[in-house]
Structure 1
Amino acid sequence: MNTFNQKIYSMLVVLVIMTSGCGKDFLKIDPKTDVNADSYFKDENQINQAVSGAYVPMRDLTKSFTWIFLEMRSDNTAFQYNNKDRGSEQREFIDEFLVTAAAEQIGQLWSGAYTGISRCNDILAKIIPVEMDAAKKDQYIGEAKFMRAYYYYNLVQLYGGVPLRLEPVNGPEDARSKGRATVAEVYDALESDLKDAAEKLPPKYSSDQAGRATKGAAKTLLAKLYMLKKNYKAAIPVLREVMTLGYDLLPQYADLFKPVNKNNQESIFEVQFLGSVPELASNFMYQFVPFTSGNIITKDPNNRILGGGAGWNIPTEDMLNAYEPGDKRKAISVSEGYTDENNVFVKVPYIRKYVNGFADAGRTDDNFPVLRFADVLLMLAECLNEEGYAANGEAFNLLNRVRHRADLGDKKAVTVPDQAAFRLAIEQERQVELAFENHRWFDLVRTGRAVTVMNAHGKREKATKTYLPGNAYEVTDNKLLLPIPQREVNLDKLDQNTGY
């Protein structure tokens, strides 16, 4: 277990202790055996543990929720229909654009992000008087601001304007928010956090600290924010700075996803998992294979895939058809089916990217990629094109650099003759290069293509899947945002999104 993951594991224990003491403040005395927020944050070790604890919700959200909203809600993936186990219909409704504000996953996604934000707020409020090395203090502040920005980056795109909580909640009087901030206000807070994080964070860490947020991670997320704001001119120099920080494409696409290559030279930020520790293990392989496959795909003799725990994030025909002939990434990323125990091929596609063996029954050692250098190359190509199409110019070179690793030929102006055509070329390349890495839904919304793409996708899905409700995939602008969780509407008096 590397030092960074040890800190995360230790912080899990500390968080349990801190929360178990709640409700005893009537005594106004802190028992010596208890740890709480008032007696914590006193030295560098405690700050380090608290920062590690702020990463924990990110891991939990990545493991259980974000792929539902960012892949299944796009045209990339859907689900394997299970007519014998109907206990997970809410996940299906998310895919079908039929979800309601009362859905459990809607609330869990929201609360998980705000848990992370709350931990970042506590760190930023408590760290200033703590005596420690100035560079270390800057690093911890930078990490907390990057994580707070990351949580808000997801929230604002999924829910729209959300409560902007930038201070700790110290008591019941702070529990109610000031209501939903505007999207522009959230963007401003994001920009401030990410600029400060980029100034304070180091470009890299020693190997035992790999996985922490870096300068490159903050700058990449800042560039994504500028692209959300259509400020491509501001994004370009930020992306160029990222390109000077030592990142590069791995020679082989397949090597990106092998657990032995965690935090490699192409990786800018990935969510850390550790298969040898139950609380830190990932399980993407088990969730993303067909529930009918037993242990044929996982090769785990002690964990057969049955029922509602699998059959999720199943690649669609649209996803399979997005790959060009000869694209090496297809066989690495996805399989079109499996051969069962009777040597019969079962045509249920599944994600191969995360089929990399297991550490123990039901536990895998896969990290989850969030930001990587290929994404940066494609972002810069997109920004350059938005600033002005140039036939066979730099944007083409960046796009083709990504394509060459996949053994694909160059895109040239003869077949991509204008700005609109280049936009579509970038869209397709991002879809296949970053498949199943939680980029597709945000890409579709950011480029204004979500309604068109998803309605066309829905028609194709309903033409072949008879179990889909008749009103599935009726996507309008009002359906691009998720509903605000009903609990938050009721308790925090928040306005609901239009259409719910």
Structure 2
Amino acid sequence: MKKISLYISAAIVALSMSSCDLDSLSMKEADTTNFPKTTEQINQTLAGVYQNLNEISKNPQESYLYWSLLASDDMLGGGGLNDKLMQACDLLCNYGTNMTENFWKARYQGINRANTLIEALENVEMEATAKAQALGEAKFLRAFYYYELASMYGRVPLNLTSTAPDNTTPPSAAEIWGQILQDLYEASTTMPAQRLTNGHVDKYAAEAMLGRAWLFYTGFYCNGEEIKDLTSTNYSPMTEVALPNGTTLTKKMVSDLIDDCVNNGKSAGYALVPDYRELWAYTNKYTVEDFPYTKGQNLKWAEDDNQANPESMFAIKFNKTASWNKGWGIGTCNGYALHFGVRGGQPYADTFPFGQGWGAGPVAPNLVNDWKVANPKNTDVREDASVKNVNDMPAYKHGGASWADFIQETDYYQMKLGPVACKTPVGSAYSKEYMEVFELAMYGLDGWLNDNYMQTGNIRDLVLIRYADVLLMQSELEENVAGMNEVHKRATGVANYYTSYSLADLQKERRWELAFEGTRWNDIRRWHIAAAALDKQTNQPIYTSGAESKNVAQNGGYTTRYNATAGFAKIPENQITLNHGMLQQNAGYTDASGEYNGWKE
């Protein structure tokens, strides 16, 4: 018998922007012998599985998404002199003994919650369609949590029951990824064909995630499971995978489900938004006409006033309840936005419309250089919609202004992830000229549990899968240009730009379309081009505390670190100790060569 502590109220709050009147069911006496037993309790337990998405936002710097952004060839580490973790992520190094332990522990907490729900659903009487939906969601989330763990650490313990011991020997990558793919396939083929816009995943999200997991596993592990196999430049993806239940999943089966996602998902309401810029929060109605780049162009943010973004297939929801000492903690705000904001220490007027934060992830100049070669006439809107040159902000001060400690700063910020400010609307009770985040204007000044809006006011969705990604996966799996052309047309206005398929064109299209969304890292790993791509960051122009410098090699350089680690992070030492020797440290972290101790010029 295992005690259950799911923080039910917190989870449900985290899934809704509105306030909720919740049943005051006492969880103190609840365990797996008596909970969950009813449809209501199943829904509460499912909310607890989702809550784990928000749990990570308390410490986003330890998460897989954060690692995938900074480790890729499109971003550097950034942050201040004391933000060594940021720089360590970029350099494929470790800082400290347990750099990412909060992420490890939280994801296994989420997995255990999913396991509890999956077991309970076997014995609960509820309407068949609702039961299939709940089971599919639980399997999706378990697979997603394992996808992140296995992408970040490689071989990790595989626990599939709520009573599984914590100290187990990790299985092979084939077993782990087989289970991930099986969960996603079962979710894709059992959930009802309906689009959900309430923060829950649906059949089409499961199909999309299946495509993502399939492409990564069958590419990255196509040569074997040893470091030399993973870092080989040979790319010949698998076409079938053995699943734990004894069946075989084929490329054709995955492709068919991606086709269903594209075709029937579109019928259900998924679609590309008309203008690429309308995906990003700087086109919100309180900012759009004060930003010279977007002024007078009739742009409307896809999420204005809580509208459902038709392109968003899987996203983390946030709300006003974030606080350090009240309510459910700071995981109910978008902590990633704070980290990727313009490094503070200067007036909002000098960085408008971009809000401020810790300065993680300066855009790597090599990305900008590559983009300008591919887009010499600037006919592809995605470049200017994604990257801001700080030299276009005349009052911007390098170095983090008064903070004067910015490391790996470049002339470029990404425009997708960070906070977006707005001018205080006429008639507002807010006393400052600028609101730190536009959400204060859009969702009102009442109801916030914390008034440190710079840090806890970012509450827009964090979108993890877009419909555009699915179109590009369809082209890659089927080696045709239909999806690529649909995505490219929105960006350039040119129809049928591609007349024949090539992997090189697909790779470029994914890079331009999905820049700074967390997909690039596993893309370059699975295509076996990571070492070469990462090395282009070496000696790029940067600023160190405001002074011009170069992004010189640290800890042997990007290629050395990638070939030593295959891109995996260090497993937290505490977890190795707790597993009593059954868990081995990843290659590249068993000596001082993988430890980052601070920036060296």
2:150–2:156 contact (8 Å) kept in structure 1: yes
Deviation of 1:79 (Å) = 3.2
The residue identity in structure 1 corresponding to 2:91 is E
1:129 shift after superposition: 2.1
Equivalent residue, structure 2, for 1:350: 413
Cα deviation, 1:285-343, whole Å, max 9, x if unaligned, reads 43212224443477699xx84xxx51112211123234322221223222111677x83
2:199 to 211, 225, 228: 211
2:361 is aligned with 1:313: yes
Task: Give, in whole Å, the separation in 1 of the partners of 2:156 and 2:337.
Answer: 33
Q: 1:97 touches 1:475 (CA, 8 Å); kept in 2?
A: yes
**Residue 442 of structure 2 corresponds to residue 379 of structure 1:** no
Contact 1:334–1:349 (CA under 8 A) maintained in structure 2 = yes
Partner of 1:427: 507
Residue type matched to 2:277 in 1? A
Of the candidates 332, 350, 369, which is equivalent to residue 463 of structure 2?
369
The match for 1:390 is: none
1:475 maps to 2:526: no
Contact 2:152-2:569 at 8 Å conserved across structures: yes
Q: Deviations over 1:331-382 (max 9, x none)?
A: 3222111677x83575642222244443341312321111121111111111
Q: Which runs of 5+ in 2 are unaligned?
A: 1-9, 219-236, 240-250, 281-300, 324-329, 399-409, 422-436, 441-452, 543-547, 590-601
Q: Secondary structure at the match of 2:87?
A: helix
Within the alignment, does 1:42 sit opposite 2:5 as a pair? Answer: no
- Given the superposition, is the C-alpha separation of residues 286 and 59 from structure 1 closer, same or farther in structure 2, using an over 3 Å criterion? same
Task: Tell me, in whole angstroms, the C-alpha distance in 1 between the residues paired with 2:379 and 2:24.
Answer: 49
Q: Structure 2: how far apart are the matches of 1:262 and 1:57? A: 24
Specify the alignment match of 2:174 in structure 1: 184
C-alpha separation in 2, matches of 1:321 and 1:17: 58
**Alpha-carbon spacing, 1:110–1:277, altered in 2? closer, same or farther (3 Å):** closer
Residue in structure 2 matching 1:238, options 257, 260, 264:
257
Q: Distance in 1 between matches of 2:310 and 2:353?
A: 30
Alignment check: 8 A CA contact 1:4 1:211 kept: no
- Point out where structure 1 has 5 or more consecutive residues left out of the alignment: 22-29, 386-394
Q: How does the TM-score come out when normalised to structure 2?
A: 0.68
Sort the Cα spacing of 1:66 and 1:176 in 2 relative to 1 into closer, same or farther, 3 A.
closer
Q: Give the TM-score normalised by structure 1.
A: 0.81
Corresponding position: 1:226 with 2:312: no
Identity %: 24
Distance across 1 between alignment mates of 2:32 and 2:125? 18
1:400-479 to 2 correspondences below 5 Å: 400-407=485-492, 409=494, 411-412=497-498, 422-460=502-540, 464-465=549-550, 469=554, 471-473=556-558, 474-479=560-565
Deviation by residue 1:439-481 (Cα, 9 ceiling, x = unmatched): 0101111111111211232354689536763634233333222
2:204–2:313 CA contact under 8 A, matched in 1: yes
Could you say what the CA RMSD is over the residues aligned between the two structures, in angstroms? 3.3
Distance across 1 between alignment mates of 2:385 and 2:527: 27
Letter in 2 for 1:478: A
Return the alpha-carbon distance in structure 1 between the equivalents of residues 25 and 526 of structure 2: 39
Q: Which runs of 4+ in 1 moved over 6 A?
A: 13-17, 297-301
Q: Which residues of 2 match residues 70-149 of structure 1 at below 5 A? A: 70-83=68-81, 86=82, 88-99=83-94, 102-105=97-100, 107-149=101-143
Please give the alpha-carbon distance, in whole angstroms, between the structure 2 residues aligned to 1:223 and 1:350.
30
Alignment of 1:313-332 (within 5 A): 313-323=361-371, 324=375, 325-332=378-385
Q: Is 1:295 aligned to residue 348 of structure 2?
A: yes
- The amino acid of 2:314's aligned partner reads F
Distance 2:521 2:52 in 1: 21
Q: Quote how far apart the aligned CAs of 1:262 are.
A: 5.2
8 Å Cα contact 1:62-1:271 kept in structure 2: no
1:392 alignment counterpart: none
2: distance between equivalents of 1:7 and 1:98? 33
C-alpha contact (below 8 Å) 2:143/2:183 kept by paired residues: yes
* AA matched with 1:132: M
Cα deviation digits, residues 24-72 of structure 1 (max 9, x gap): xxxxxx4xxxx55554313211211111111122233367123321110
Aligned counterparts of 2:555 and 2:458: Cα–Cα separation in 1: 38
> Quick one: which amino acid aligns to residue 434 of structure 1?
L
Distance 1:426 1:175 in 2: 43
